[in-house]
Amino acid sequence: MSSEPGAPPGGVEAVTDPATDPPHVLYVAWGYPPSRGGGVYRALATANGFAEAGCRVTVLTAERETFIEFTGADFSLEDKIHPDIEIVRLPFSWPAMETNIRKWPALRAFAPKLWRKRQLRNDTKNFPENGYGPWREPLEAAALDIHRRRPVDLVVASANPNVDFMAADVLHRRHGVPYVMDYRDAWMLDVFDGSFLHEQGGRVDQLEKRLLNSAREVWFVNEPIRAWHQRRHPHLADRMHVVANGYDPEFAPLPSVEPAAADAPLTFGYIGTASAKVPLAEFAEGWRLARGRHEALAGARAQLWGYLGFYSAPSHVLLTLVDAFRPDGLSYEGPVPKAKVQSTYASFDACLLILGAGKYVTSGKVFEYAASALPIVAVHDPGNAATDVLREYPLWFPVADLEPESIATALEAAAVAAREADPATREACREFARRYSRELQLAPRIEALRDGITGTRTSPKESA
């Protein structure tokens, strides 16, 4: 376990005065800077928000090497961490992601199926989550150590992974510390098709019910996901809140109120993580069709920025797809550090919102795209939750379905708007986006929680 600025000397209990010390918030997030995962911006903003509200904040997360080696890292995000936040980093072992065969046990090399079966059993022995289950014990031990050094008044645990919730659980069970469960997606709900990810009444379901019953608050990123959980747990409905991802003003694109240059080909841009659920193949077919027949798209480019897949190495399948459409102006430009997001958006004439299907899917990029005041081509199932967010956005161009003709029609309309939308329309886009600033989403909950925990600290000795 390693600590960064703000930690007292190892093993030394801090002297605290409940009457004068600020509330101590423990924020638990496996993915925290320099992680480059989609949820890292929510984690960064939430911890910073509590620090800016006057709380003493400790972040419990994985070691930097975890992200450098396995998922990719964006070191520019570390500069955005509030200087008063203490960061406690834990080693994280991820055997299934180890690509160095010199580090493989003999069983994995010579009997891979048997190794995977044993690994799955080991992963889920203490917590039902593949890959992350073994982290439960070190996570709980670290949370207890943090509380011993400086009593914790509130835990905010952010999934995914869901094992993060166990740091909150152990402090609540042993010391009565209240906690918040912040879901970025869902645990039991498949946000893409609305089915159950785990057996009803099974191990995950029972564990989630126990955790929900004891939580002070439960946060979800959109109303459809909250409503689904409220229907399953009606007695807990009043503690469930929507805290939308929103956009971060310091990172967000500067709104574009001028039309695209008339003498240059248009650039359509996508920024995000493209998984296998994202309809890139359907988009590419529609793009080829539109670019080949509409004069507004003559010579136009479609750029994919970010990650193709969830890991450091781009998905071979998606790279092959992009290569096949390269003659049509489609390209993969690679990751973009958060510090360069604004300049990347500034190079776009329109945004491509390409999302996987599912009425529970929003994506944090929706809000960032809206802040750009650019035309947005929504290439996703019209039933997605993103539709509810963008319905009133003046330069929103949704597809009727994912057929090439529908996608081409939306692209063509957006191309015309990129050159012809007047300043008043673009200004209306900017006004629309202001309501989705991330700080406006977080502020009410942070204020309510801070007021609720002030003066309620219980020392470990009193509650043991």
pLDDT value, residue 462: 39
Which sequence spans correspond to the domains of the chain?
2-246+439-456, 267-436
pLDDT above 50 for 328:
yes
Of the two residues 396 and 119, the one the predictor is more confident about is: 396
Average pLDDT for 412-435: 93
pLDDT value, residue 95: 66
Contacts of 425 (CB under 8 A, 6+ apart): 394, 395
Contact 409, 377 (CB under 8 A): no
pLDDT above 60 for 27:
yes
pLDDT value, residue 18: 59
Instruction: Report the interhelical angle of 280-293 vs 404-420 (nearest 10°).
Output: 60
Distance of CA 340 to the CA centre of its chain: 18
pLDDT above 50 for 44:
yes
CATH class of 2-246+439-456: alpha beta
Average pLDDT for 197-218: 97
pLDDT value, residue 78: 93
Distance of CA 337 to the CA centre of its chain: 15
pLDDT value, residue 107: 74
Confidence class for position 10, pLDDT limits 50, 70, 90: low
Q: Any idea which of 178-182, 218-222, 334-338, 362-366 has the lowest mean pLDDT?
A: 362-366
CB burial readout 355-391, b (16+ within 10 A) else e: bbbbbbbbbbbbbbbbbbbbbbbbbbbeebbbbebbe
Of the two residues 464 and 106, the one the predictor is more confident about is: 106
pLDDT above 60 for 454:
yes
Average pLDDT for 253-280: 87
Residue appearing with tokens 């509810």: 388
Contacts of 242 (CB under 8 A, 6+ apart): 219, 220, 221, 222, 223, 226
What is the distance between the alpha carbons of residues 414 and 76, in angstroms, rounded to a whole number?
Answer: 33
Residue type, 154: L
Of the two residues 145 and 371, the one the predictor is more confident about is: 145
pLDDT above 90 for 208:
yes
Q: What are the tokens at 85?
A: 């936040």
pLDDT above 80 for 304:
yes
Highest-scoring range by mean pLDDT, 184-188, 275-279, 285-289, 449-453: 285-289
Work out the mean pLDDT of the chain and round it to a whole number. Answer: 88
Q: Rounded to the nearest 5 degrees, what angle is found at the Cα of 153, between the Cα atoms of 149 and 157?
A: 95
pLDDT value, residue 340: 85
pLDDT value, residue 459: 43
Average pLDDT for 397-412: 96
pLDDT above 80 for 385:
no
Average pLDDT for 341-362: 86
pLDDT value, residue 285: 97
Q: Any idea which of 114-118, 180-184, 224-228 has the lowest mean pLDDT?
A: 114-118
What is the distance between the alpha carbons of residues 411 and 149, in angstroms, rounded to a whole number?
Answer: 57
Residue appearing with tokens 């065969």: 101
pLDDT value, residue 464: 35
Q: Which fold has domain 267-436?
A: Rossmann fold (3.40.50)
- Whether 2-246+439-456 shares its CATH topology with 267-436 is answered yes
Confidence class for position 312, pLDDT limits 50, 70, 90: low
pLDDT above 70 for 168:
yes
Confidence class for position 12, pLDDT limits 50, 70, 90: low
pLDDT value, residue 428: 94
Contact 85, 51 (CB under 8 A): yes
Average pLDDT for 197-222: 96
Average pLDDT for 245-270: 85
Residue appearing with tokens 């136009």: 300
pLDDT value, residue 389: 86
Average pLDDT for 362-382: 88
- How many C-beta atoms lie closer than 10 Å to residue 52's C-beta? 16
Average pLDDT for 439-450: 92
Confidence class for position 392, pLDDT limits 50, 70, 90: very high
CA atoms within 13 A on the CB side of 424: 0
Contacts of 24 (CB under 8 A, 6+ apart): 55, 56, 57, 58, 150, 151, 152, 153, 154, 457
pLDDT value, residue 96: 66
Residue % of the chain over a pLDDT of 90: 59
